Every structure is written in C-alpha cells, then in structure tokens.
Amino acid sequence: MPSATGDAGSVIVSEIRRFVDKEVLPVATELEHRDEYPAALIQQMREMGLFAMTIGPAYGGLGLPFTTYAAVIEELGRGWMTLAGILNTHVIVSYILEQFGTKEQKKRWLPVMVEGEKRCAFCLTEPDAGSDVAAIKTYAVRDGDLYRLNGNKMFVSNGRRAHFYLVLCKTDREAQPPHRGMSALIVEKGTKGLVIHRDLEKLGYKGVDTVALSFDDAPVPVTNLVGDREGDGFKQVMSGLEVGRINVAARAVGLARAAFEDAIAYSFQRRAFGKPIFEHQAVHMRLADMYTRIEAARLLTRQAAEKKDRGERADLEAGVAKLFASEMCQETTLDALRVFGGYGYIKEMRAERYYRDAPMSLIGEGTSDIQKVVIARALERLYKKE
C-alpha cells in the first residue's frame, strides 16, 4: 500500500520510504519504550532536507508542495509517528512566518530553519484553554521597543529542544470578540523570564519532549511580532493549524498503514483450525475494512493538501481529513490488535506501540469534537442563505 504523490515528489517519497525501512523501523520500538529522543534519526532527517521541505527556494528551502509533504509524513508515520510530530511544529511556524511575517523576519529566521539545526515550538494551549482558543490568558504589554510577556503554556511539543517559540498571546485584553486582540510573538530560547517547568509523561507519542512552560515578564522585541500589526495572531495561527491538521491526518494514515501491513503479514503466517487465519472470513473481512478506511483517509488528506497548495482556505478540507483519519487510525490499530490476539498486547510486538500512539491523532491540532465544530462552521458559510 504505497503512498502516492505526483511525479515531482515520487523520488523524495521513495527515499523517505527507504530511510524508514532501513533506519527507523529497526530502532523505533526500542527508542519508544525508553522514551528516548531520536537524535541520530533527526540528524539524518536534517541531512535529507526534511526541515526545509515546505520553505520557499528564496530562503534556501525546497519549496515542495503540501501534497508531497503529506506523503512524506505518511511514510514517517509508518515508521514512528514521533518523527512526524517533531517536524510538525517546525513546519507550522515556518509556514506562518513565510505567509505572514515581514521581509526582515523571513530573512532572519527562515534560512536558519532550513538547516534544521535550530527548530521551533508552537505555544497555543494553556492550562485553562485548549480547544477554546479565545480563552487564552497569556498576554503581552507594550513597553517601548519591547513586549512584556506573561502567562503559561501547556503541551508544548519540542518545547525543551526548541530554539525559538511562536507564542499566541493577547496584546489587547479588552478586545471583543477576544480573537481580535490576539497576536503572535517569536520568543527565542534563553529569553529572561522563559521557564520550562517539566516534561509531561504520556501514554504514547514518546521520544518527543512535551513540556509545560511559563513567561514571567519576558522581554520580547517588538520586531518579533509576526507581521506588521497587532491583532492578526488568531488568523495567522488558524491558517497554520490547517497545515498542522494535514500533518496529523497524514501521520494517522501512516500509523494505520503500518498496523494494517503488520496485521495482514501476520494473518498469512498464523494458523488456526488448520489454515492461515487470513482465510477465516472474520479476519479477511476485518482486513478489507482496514484497507478501505486507510485509502479513504489518504484521499481526504491529499484533497486538503491540494487546496492548501492552491493558496486557498482549507479549514473544511483539513478538518474533514483530520477527523476521519484520526478516528480511522484509532479503529484500525485496535483491529490490528485483534488480528494479533494476545501477541498484539505484548511489548515485543509493534502492534501495542501503534495502539498507544493512535490516541494522539485524536487530540493533536484539535480534538475530533473540535473538528466537527470547524466543519459545521465551514458548512454554514457554504450553505446558509442570507
């Protein structure tokens, strides 16, 4: 079940597939069980230019379309979804900077991001504000040539190893509706008042640092305000989340594909009642359903990526792809566990890792319930007659 993309990206996707088969799969489960950051794999990803994939050639990047990006993420998700997650925040931030940053900001940060040595984290969620973005409390007050940034952020992926952070905050706490008072700031590592409090231990999605951090009167230069005016942060971040949802959908497809491929291979080998278990109707019908769902999720993800490539708003398509793919992934990894039976429940088999990783796709870049809200609002925009 190879992932598909256009001719221009087929060579790159093939290279990533070989990388996953040769370098990732032999070590992923061991690294995951140790919750170890995959430094050697990340270095190879840097050398292959993966951190430069979506950044334009004007800044030294490859300028690949999101359709190719989604196919690459699928392959990485097939090997270990953590690798796709480490790329995700970097790509979201680079996209926001390239689309909305000033010329000076693009020249300053994008060439550095291309190298992949200095990577980014994305600070949105707070202890009391997850799905309800309008409820964020982190704020920044203008003080001459600086902003004084205060607040707390939670579930910051890549938060410990990031070199700079894109932080959504309120620069006008009285604005109504609240999103009109939000801005995005770039905060560099080492800024006084930026404190990383702790790493959050997780059920799955291990190997990537997920932290809680805070800002205590942290001084941020006014020149680090993304764009040239306050109040645009919500729009910028929502556009970036469309890219993030394509990533989560693609990695869910990759993870489900890995679970399916392991399960069908096992079904040919394992014998019960005198024949391979694949030949039992209950098993081969389950596998047929798994395959069908994966194919549908891939097509939805590609549709969202294609719309993003055209520069169009893709909240509906990205929401649909993320919702369907993540729910599909959860169901498919459970079905794989059922095919394996008791063997799927032990740590020696990859099936148990797939099962623990899958719930992350239900939560990351907005829960399934939030995707339904996003979809419904887009449908209202499309179909409601004034």
Please state the φ and ψ torsions of residue 169, each to the nearest 5 degrees: -145, 175
Instruction: Determine contact, residues 294/256, Cβ cutoff 8 Å.
Output: yes
Q: Which residues pair with 220 in a beta bridge?
A: 147
Instruction: Determine contact, residues 92/262, Cβ cutoff 8 Å.
Output: no
Cα dist from 58 to 55, 107, 108, 110, 144, whole Å? 8, 9, 13, 9, 33
Cα dist from 320 to 8, 202, 264, 296, 327, whole Å? 26, 26, 28, 11, 11
219: number of Cβ within 10 Å: 16
Burial 116-151 (b: 16+ CB within 10 A, else e): bebbbbbbbbbeebbeebeebebbbeeeeebbbbbb
384: number of Cβ within 10 Å: 7
Active site residue 365: yes
Work out whether strand 164-170 and strand 120-123 pair parallel, antiparallel, or are unpaired.
parallel
Which of the following is catalytic: 261, 348, 365, 386? 365
- 2: preceding bond cis by omega (within 30 degrees): no
How far is 386 from 123, CA to CA, in rounded Å?
37
How far is 227 from 235, CA to CA, in rounded Å?
11
For every residue of 82-98, DSSP letters joined together read HHHHHHHHHHHHHHHHH
- 177: preceding bond cis by omega (within 30 degrees): yes
* Residues annotated catalytic, as ranges: 365
